[in-house]
């Protein structure tokens, strides 16, 4: 996968369920570039040739927008370090571009809890295979799986007491 751009914005709710376990629910808007959203694949099906071909074709420099809801737990190892596994359900906002209207991802993050914000390095792994050719008239096409790494900063705007 090549390095590329994308951004997200959202809100999150964190419930201090236990001393070391916090429940987290996030609602995010993602805008990912085609290089992030559409993976590259080997040129030959058997993988005999070492090169890669882009799967996006005419979707180069296209933005893929999603609205996503995720739920997970923040497990605190210390007062500063935590792990964050979560399950995410995302719905596409551009049905003309995305054939799969709903996608599912597993997320695993490692983070640092600062006084005013959390910083999380998060790996997202798609559970649903997306089509490589976004033309509904093509019956048999190869698929790809979305995987990407993102750096998130979560800043609480309001703390419930």
> Considering the domain boundaries, does residue 112 fall inside one?
yes
Q: How far apart are CA 38 and CA 33, in angstroms?
A: 8
Task: Tell me how far apart the terminal alpha carbons of the chain are, to the nearest angstrom.
Answer: 43
> Considering the domain boundaries, does residue 125 fall inside one?
yes
pLDDT number for residue 23: 92
Is the pTM higher than 0.85? The answer reads no
For the chain, what is the domain count? Answer: 1
Q: How far apart are CA 60 and CA 44, in angstroms?
A: 21
Q: Which CATH number belongs to the domain containing residue 57 in this structure?
A: 2.40.160
> Considering the domain boundaries, does residue 1 fall inside one?
no
> Considering the domain boundaries, does residue 124 fall inside one?
yes
pLDDT tens-digit profile of 64-112?
788 999 999 999 999 999 999 999 998 888 766 666 678 889 999 999 9
pLDDT tens-digit profile of 106-161?
999 999 998 888 999 999 888 876 655 555 565 555 555 677 888 888 887 766 65
Does residue 7 register a pLDDT over 70? yes
> Considering the domain boundaries, does residue 41 fall inside one?
yes
Q: What does the DSSP assignment read for 37-51?
A: HS-EEESSTT--S--
Please state, as a whole number, how many other Cβ atoms lie within 10 Å of the Cβ of residue 147.
13
| Structural domain of 64 | 6-154
- Say what percent of the chain tops pLDDT 70: 61
């Amino acid at each position: 996968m090549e390095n590329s751009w994308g951004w997200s914005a959202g809100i999150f709710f964190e419930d201090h369920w236990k001393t070391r376990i916090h429940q987290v629910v996030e609602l995010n808007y993602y805008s990912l570039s085609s290089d992030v959203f559409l993976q590259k694949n080997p040129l030959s099906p058997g993988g005999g040739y070492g090169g890669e071909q882009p799967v996006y074709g005419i979707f180069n420099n296209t933005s893929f927008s999603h609205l996503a809801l995720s739920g997970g737990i923040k497990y605190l190892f210390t007062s500063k370090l935590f792990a964050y596994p979560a399950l995410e359900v995302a719905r596409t906002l551009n049905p003309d571009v995305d054939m799969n209207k709903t996608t599912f991802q597993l997320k695993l993050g490692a983070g640092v809890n600062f006084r005013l914000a959390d910083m999380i390095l998060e790996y997202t792994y798609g559970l649903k295979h997306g089509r490589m050719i976004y033309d509904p008239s093509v019956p048999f096409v190869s698929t790809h799986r979305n995987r990407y790494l993102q750096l998130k900063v979560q800043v609480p705007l309001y703390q419930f007491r």
